A and B are shown apart, each in its own frame.
Chain A
Amino acid sequence: MNAYWLSRDRLDALLEALKRRGYRVIGPVMREGLPTLAPLERARDLPWGVEARAAPGRYEVREDAPKARAFDFVLTPQGWKRLLFPPERLLFRVRRTDLGYEVTTPDPEAEPPLALFGVRPCELRAIQIHDRVLSQGPFADEAYTARRRAAFIVVVQCTRSLETCFCASVGTGPEAREGFDLALTEVTDGFVVVSGSFKGADLLQEMDLPEATEAQQREAREAVARAARSQRRRLDPQGLRDLLYGNLESPLWQEIGERCIGCGNCTMVCPTCFCTTVEDGSDLSGREAWRIQRWDSCFSVEYAYIHGGSIRRSVASRYRQWLTHKLAGWQDQFGTLGCVGCGRCIVWCPVGIDLTEEVARFREQHAAVAAQEEQP
């Protein structure tokens, strides 16, 4: 794979090339003091000199870092999920006519295709997981599939980790190796760029970039490796599925349930959570009705409602559903963990529950029980 050199002053040329191809470019820009994913007009709108710090229940932004770097914020509070899989959308509209009911469905092909600029490796993996969930089963979410197929993805490899990152331990980062159209690595004075698709290669060719030097490529490799080494949090995927299924009735759930307030923040910021609910409406005349789909959360009480009431009344049972689905059920359903190690659920948990710590406690408890059983 050839690596090219994109100096900082040619970032705008890249954005222009994307726009010329008809893409609506979305990337990180500063909004109300936070790096936020929004339409990206010019390279200078990127969060230059912005560093984020994260901890359980905390996210802080400093804007006084060296202005030479645009991606040291690492992760925006909200990820890319909402762009390909919006929090709310119209499924269809029904109009009563003389012939019966006429149904109109929004056509995702009518929207301009998206260029996602600055996707982090863990977020790319989350998108690939959504592809499996929403596009590759026996039934597909056509709107997602159409939007996704049309999208252009520019990954920016991670050269810095937040304190809450643990992508290295689950194998999703800090470097993406496939699944992108272009991948950038931010180094001194610019970016090392590689393409990962025909679309990406075609665009690079048009830009006619010089090849990156060996020194630039080495700097990029080392920066990514440093980001990986700096991660302290770990989630060990080994045996995770059986660990959780084997401990469905552990008292630890109850203990977590006493701290968890069931707010569902973790599911909203999680880049792989995909549950939705629907809402039906109609106008007063009854001639027109509609169905709206909305993100839902397994932490809502109505989530597991069947006639007679909710199956999961306790917060503990809802946390258990979330975590066992993410880390165990997902493996059965989609052949992958549902966690990409972005750590957003840790950052945005109002009470700072950290799934890596909780899983470690399950491991300890399991090991203790196993040791006890071995004693004569």
Chain B
Amino acid sequence: MKGLAELLAEHPFFQGLKPEHLEYIATCSTNVVFKPGEYLAREGEEADRFYVIRHGTVALELFVPHRGPLVIQTVREGDVLGWSWLFEPHRWAFDARAVTLVRALAFDGACLRRKCDQDPELGYELMKRFARVIAERLKATRIQLMDVYGNAGGR
């Protein structure tokens, strides 16, 4: 069976990280499973971790009074979920609900933050990777906002 560090090395998010960094990150992670309907994160609660989704689909939701939960985006196999652990005040900005059975790796944020503070090189590498995820998610959100399939009249 492959070690956790090897598994991580194959994931696009961690590609190119030094082996010692991968070893260390692996020690901060645990395998987790969520049943459909269970929450990986709740809005406002302490964001002490992030996830690498290995199987299944997770809905990012905001609960809107009178309208119920509104799904903003879904993330799935291969995606990274959660960056609130990186920044003060470390609180989740949305709910993350397992739509299907979800298997994921959960990374301990406090553990990683400590390590990043000690080892700025690892900190920078991780920050670059998260910045990229955030930028991509933002770009997708912008397109979504344009409502491109909308209907503005025609012939």
- Point out residues on A near B: beta carbons under 8 Å: 305-309
- How many Å lie between the Cα of A323 and that of B152 in the bound state? 30
The residue on B at minimum CB distance from A306 is B154
| Residues of B with C-beta under 8 A to A309 | 152-153
Report if B155 contacts A (CB, 8 A).
yes
The residue on A at minimum CB distance from B155 is A307
Known: A307-B153, A309-B152. 8 other contacts (CB 8 A): A305-B155, A306-B154, A307-B151, A307-B152, A307-B154, A308-B152, A308-B153, A309-B153
Give the A-B contact count at a CB cut-off of 8 A.
12
| Residues of A with C-beta under 8 A to B154 | 306-308
* B51 CB, nearest partner CB in chain A, Å: 39
Looking at chain A's contact residues, is the secondary structure mostly helix, strand, loop, or mixed?
A: strand
Task: Scan residues 127-155 of chain B and give those whose CB is less than 8 A from a CB of chain A.
Answer: 151-155
| Residues of A with C-beta under 8 A to B152 | 307-309
A-B contact pairs, 12 of them (CB 8 A): A305-B155, A306-B154, A307-B151, A307-B152, A307-B153, A307-B154, A307-B155, A308-B152, A308-B153, A308-B154, A309-B152, A309-B153
* B69 CB, nearest partner CB in chain A, Å: 31
The residue on B at minimum CB distance from A308 is B152
Task: Scan residues 59-97 of chain B and give those whose CB is less than 8 A from a CB of chain A.
Answer: none
| Residues of A with C-beta under 8 A to B153 | 307-309
Task: Scan residues 113-127 of chain B and give those whose CB is less than 8 A from a CB of chain A.
Answer: none
* B152 CB, nearest partner CB in chain A, Å: 4
* A60 CB, nearest partner CB in chain B, Å: 44
- How many Å lie between the Cα of A307 and that of B152 in the bound state? 7
| Residues of B with C-beta under 8 A to A305 | 155
| Residues of A with C-beta under 8 A to B151 | 307
* A190 CB, nearest partner CB in chain B, Å: 57
5 pairs of A and B residues whose beta carbons are closest in the complex: A307-B154, A308-B152, A309-B152, A307-B153, A307-B152
- How many Å lie between the Cα of A309 and that of B154 in the bound state? 8
| Residues of B with C-beta under 8 A to A308 | 152-154
- How many Å lie between the Cα of A373 and that of B155 in the bound state? 47
The residue on B at minimum CB distance from A309 is B152
* A307 CB, nearest partner CB in chain B, Å: 3
- How many Å lie between the Cα of A306 and that of B155 in the bound state? 8
The residue on B at minimum CB distance from A305 is B155
- How many Å lie between the Cα of A309 and that of B9 in the bound state? 49
| Residues of A with C-beta under 8 A to B155 | 305, 307
- How many Å lie between the Cα of A349 and that of B113 in the bound state? 69
* B148 CB, nearest partner CB in chain A, Å: 10
* B147 CB, nearest partner CB in chain A, Å: 11
* A305 CB, nearest partner CB in chain B, Å: 8
* A17 CB, nearest partner CB in chain B, Å: 51
- How many Å lie between the Cα of A305 and that of B152 in the bound state? 12
The residue on A at minimum CB distance from B153 is A307
- How many Å lie between the Cα of A309 and that of B155 in the bound state? 10
